[in-house]
Amino acid sequence: MNIALARREFGAGGGAELYLQRLISALLKEGHAVSLVTADAKARPEGVDVRHVALSGNRSAQVLQFDRETNRTLRSLPVDCLFSLERLSRQDVLRAGDGVHAAWLEQRRRFTSSWRRWLVGRGGFHKAMLDLEKRAYDSRRTRRLIVNSEMVGRDIRERFGFPAERIHLVRNGVELERWRSGDRKRTRVRWGIGEEEFLLLFAGSGWERKGLRFVLKALASLEGEKVRLVVAGKGKPPWGTPPSVIFAGPMKDLENAYAAADLLVFPPIYEPSANVVFEALAAGLPVVTSGCNGAAEVVEEGINGTVVEDPSDVARLAMAVREWMGRGIVRPVPVKADLSLERNVRETLEVLTLAAGERAEEQS
């Protein structure tokens, strides 16, 4: 099958980009011909027909430009199925891995101070995203949708009327062996964490969306407890953060952070389905996350984690941490869900094959 993929950024290191790189490897291994339309000039994945499109202007202009240039570029390619990881005005299959932009803006307003709330969603970029989103989630323009959580699928059905039978839930998949390979003892020594200290981990960049401020407030209410926090991800430490909090920066060996920690605390205000939850569970690490995270759907309450519905409920966050501290070190936690990358690729291919068949039937 000739599969065309579309994504503006390829090597940015985010969840969607890492997902795409792993998917390409799997598709090539299965014997499919893969082409990639991207604006990332550095993208050179081996074995892939890469078509670079040049973008200019501001962010809002580039969003619409990429849509136009991708459709133009595809006219010269043999394509059985266009699988987009970017909102386009037309595609065979769209992976809604970024969720719903309108929902993100609503959540951002909800958790932003009143004097700043009016600024959220203003500007050309957000208008361009909302306009393109309406077209992308139009069932006359997109054959099939892949969502990585029921939360996102439900949102798309209710907002855009996309038919439920054409929305496919394909949960994220991770490399299980990698996340089970961390070195707990050496990493705790590196960070100066005593064996008697309970170590919390927050992993991710984009701290406003991912709720670091709520974790820091919960930690402050745990003063006097033998508890520490490591923040793994890009960002400047917020003013007033106690020196006991370790900012490890972006980590290439994140598996060691999962091994060293006793609990992942990750309460985003909006997250379609955070990979960090899947990685932590694969590492056997219990998770505290928010109900605004689609990945909360794989958390089994009290067995491998806790879901705090409101990420800003600092008292409940602190209570959840105390509950897990009271249980001591619980590793590895049991997980019922199949978190494997192999399962994810298999289910994705099933949807692409279905859409390719529909496209061929329509064109015959």
Tally of CA atoms within 13 A in the half-sphere of 44 that contains its CB: 2
Pair 315, 351 in one domain: no
Q: What pLDDT score does 116 carry? A: 75
Instruction: Flag whether 25 is in a domain.
Output: yes
Mean pLDDT of 296-314: 97
Q: What pLDDT score does 111 carry? A: 86
Long-range contacts of 248-251 (CB under 8 A, 24+ apart): 248/191, 250/13, 250/205
Instruction: Flag whether 333 is in a domain.
Output: no
Pair 150, 93 in one domain: yes
Pair 129, 87 in one domain: yes
Pair 71, 180 in one domain: no
pLDDT band (50, 70, 90) for residue 20: confident
Which tokens belong to 230? 């490591």
Is residue 17 over pLDDT 80?
A: no
pLDDT digits (tens, 9 = 90+) for 258-293: 999 999 999 999 999 999 999 999 999 999 999 999
Instruction: Flag whether 35 is in a domain.
Output: yes
CA 180 to chain centre: 20
Instruction: Flag whether 334 is in a domain.
Output: no
pLDDT digits (tens, 9 = 90+) for 143-179: 999 999 999 999 999 999 999 999 999 999 998 999 9
Is residue 35 over pLDDT 90?
A: yes
Q: Cα(312)–Cα(270) distance, rounded to whole angstroms? A: 12
pLDDT digits (tens, 9 = 90+) for 218-241: 999 998 889 999 999 999 999 889
- Residue 232: give its domain's CATH number: 3.40.50.2000
Pair 166, 194 in one domain: no
Instruction: Flag whether 276 is in a domain.
Output: yes
Pair 158, 19 in one domain: yes
Q: What is the domain count for the chain?
A: 2
Mean pLDDT of 291-309: 97
Q: What pLDDT score does 40 carry? A: 85
Instruction: Flag whether 331 is in a domain.
Output: no
Pair 68, 13 in one domain: yes
Of residues 141, 159, 165, the one with CA closest to residue 104: 159
pLDDT band (50, 70, 90) for residue 14: low
DSSP 8-class letter at 174: B
pLDDT digits (tens, 9 = 90+) for 313-361: 999 999 999 999 999 888 899 999 999 988 998 999 999 999 999 999 9
Pair 77, 213 in one domain: no
Pair 19, 168 in one domain: yes
CB 357 within 8 A of CB 143: no
Pair 226, 304 in one domain: yes
pLDDT digits (tens, 9 = 90+) for 95-142: 999 999 999 999 999 988 777 777 776 788 899 999 999 999 999 999
Q: What pLDDT score does 62 carry? A: 92
Instruction: Flag whether 332 is in a domain.
Output: no
Pair 22, 166 in one domain: yes
Instruction: Flag whether 12 is in a domain.
Output: yes
Is residue 251 over pLDDT 90?
A: yes
Q: What pLDDT score does 13 carry? A: 61
Least confident of 121-125, 197-201, 211-215: 121-125
Range of the domain at 41: 2-173+341-363
Q: What pLDDT score does 15 carry? A: 65
Pair 193, 299 in one domain: yes
Q: What pLDDT score does 316 carry? A: 98
